[in-house]
């Protein structure tokens, strides 16, 4: 679910007994498709229609990000993780989905690929004292999707942490340019915008809130998060 908090978008993700919060600290300054590109695609010239179309661009981009688990344009996110109870069976790792601190406390999965860099990692103890982990203690594994922050050999996340929002990870993610976004994703966004525009007067009567082709266009780019995982928003 999504909440607005101090002009920052907060996504709460529940995985079993695990709760994580993902805050958009710096939103994208550009969209994956321009207003002019959309107008040409829709064959729209009227200024009134332009005002109608503009919010559909952000709507379609956010829908795509939620479904695929990707950040389409550069943005800064902060991930908050609760402290987790120790699990006796490490095989549970293969069943988890979403962002989490793994059983051995040596890596954290980061939502929203592609992750560009990690700004900082902070931990909080029961006295609410923040400790910034030295960058030499961890590294970013961006070769896989979703990316991970991995502790170096001999390093682990502290164990004596407060229950809620125990770990804070701030990082930059997203494609650095619209030219780097796969064309099927941009086509899907265009088709979604066209669908919203076509059904702008009867949107609630439409059978689907998106064009049927989105399933096949986005499918190759959905980031799966382990056994039994699925995208944040299923296209069913």
Q: Over the chain, what HEC string results?
A: CEEEECCEEEEEEEECCEEEEEEEEECCCCCCCCHHHHHHHHCCCCHHHHHHHHHHHHHHHHHHHHHHCECCCCEEEEEEECCCCCCCCHHHHHHCCCCCECCCCCEEECCCECEEEEEEEEEECCCCCEEECCHHHEEEECCCCCCEEEECCCCCCCCCCCCCCCEEEEEEECCCCHHHCCHHHHHHHHHHHHHHHHCCCCHHHCCCCCCCCHHHHHHHHCCCCCCCCCCCCCCC
210: which 2 tokens? 């998106």
Please determine, for residue 38, whether its predicted confidence score (pLDDT) is greater than 90.
yes
Would you say residue 203 has pLDDT above 90? no
What is the rounded average pLDDT of the residues 24-33? 94
Asked if 76 contacts 25 with a C-beta cutoff of 8 angstroms, the reply is yes
Residues 160, 49: Cα–Cα separation, whole Å: 56
d(CA 7, CA 20): 19
CATH number of 34-68+182-226: 1.10.3230
Q: What is the pLDDT of residues 90-148, one digit of tens each?
A: 443 444 444 555 545 688 889 999 999 999 999 999 999 999 999 999 999 999 888 99
| pLDDT category of residue 6 using cuts at 50, 70 and 90 | very low
Structure tokens at 118: 């990690």
CA neighbours within 13 Å on the CB side: how many for 181? 27
Both tokens of 26, joined, read 């710096």
Share of the chain above pLDDT 90, in %: 51
pLDDT value at 59 more than 70: yes
Domain ranges of the chain: 34-68+182-226, 75-173
Query: In the block, which residue shows the tokens 């961006």?
Result: 142
Q: Over range 199-216, report the average pLDDT.
A: 73
pTM of the model as a whole: 0.78
If one compares 212 and 60, the residue with the highest pLDDT of the two is: 60
Confidence check: pLDDT of 39 > 60: yes
Give the burial string for 58-77 (b: 16+ CB within 10 Å, else e): eebbebbbebbbbbbbbbbb
**Which tokens sit at 2?**
């999504």
The β-bridge partners of 121 are 169
The pLDDT score that the predictor gives to residue 128 is 93
User: Of 173, 22, 67, nearest to 112 (Cα)?
Assistant: 173
Mean pLDDT of the region 206-223? 84
- pLDDT per residue over 151-187, tens digit each? 999 888 887 888 888 899 999 999 999 999 999 999 9
Give percent of the chain with pLDDT exceeding 70: 74
Average pLDDT over residues 44-54: 83
Task: Answer positive or negative: Cα dihedral of 90, 94, 95, 100.
Answer: positive
pLDDT at 71 > cutoff 80? yes
pLDDT band at 227 (very low <50, low <70, confident <90, very high): very low
């Amino acid at each position: 679910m999504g909440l607005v908090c101090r002009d920052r978008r907060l996504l709460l993700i529940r995985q079993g007994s695990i709760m994580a919060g993902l805050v958009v600290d710096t939103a994208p300054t550009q969209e994956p498709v321009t207003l002019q590109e959309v107008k040409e695609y829709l064959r729209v010239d009227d200024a009134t229609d332009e005002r109608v179309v503009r919010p559909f661009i952000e709507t379609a981009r956010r829908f795509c990000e939620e479904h695929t688990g990707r950040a389409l344009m550069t943005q800064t996110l902060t991930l908050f993780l609760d402290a987790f109870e120790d699990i006796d069976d490490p095989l549970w790792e293969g069943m988890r989905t979403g962002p989490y601190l793994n059983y051995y406390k040596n890596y954290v999965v980061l939502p929203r690929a592609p992750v560009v860099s990690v700004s900082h990692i902070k931990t909080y103890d029961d006295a609410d004292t923040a400790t910034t982990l030295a960058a030499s203690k961890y590294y970013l594994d961006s070769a896989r999707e979703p990316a991970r922050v991995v502790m170096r050999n001999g390093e682990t996340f502290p164990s004596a942490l407060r229950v809620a929002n125990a770990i804070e990870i701030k990082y930059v993610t997203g494609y650095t340019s619209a030219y780097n976004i796969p064309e099927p994703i941009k086509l899907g966004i265009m088709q979604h915008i066209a669908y919203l525009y076509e059904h702008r007067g009867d949107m609630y009567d439409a059978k689907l809130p998106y064009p049927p082709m989105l399933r096949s266009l986005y499918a190759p780019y959905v980031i799966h998060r382990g056994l039994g995982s699925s995208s944040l928003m299923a296209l069913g």
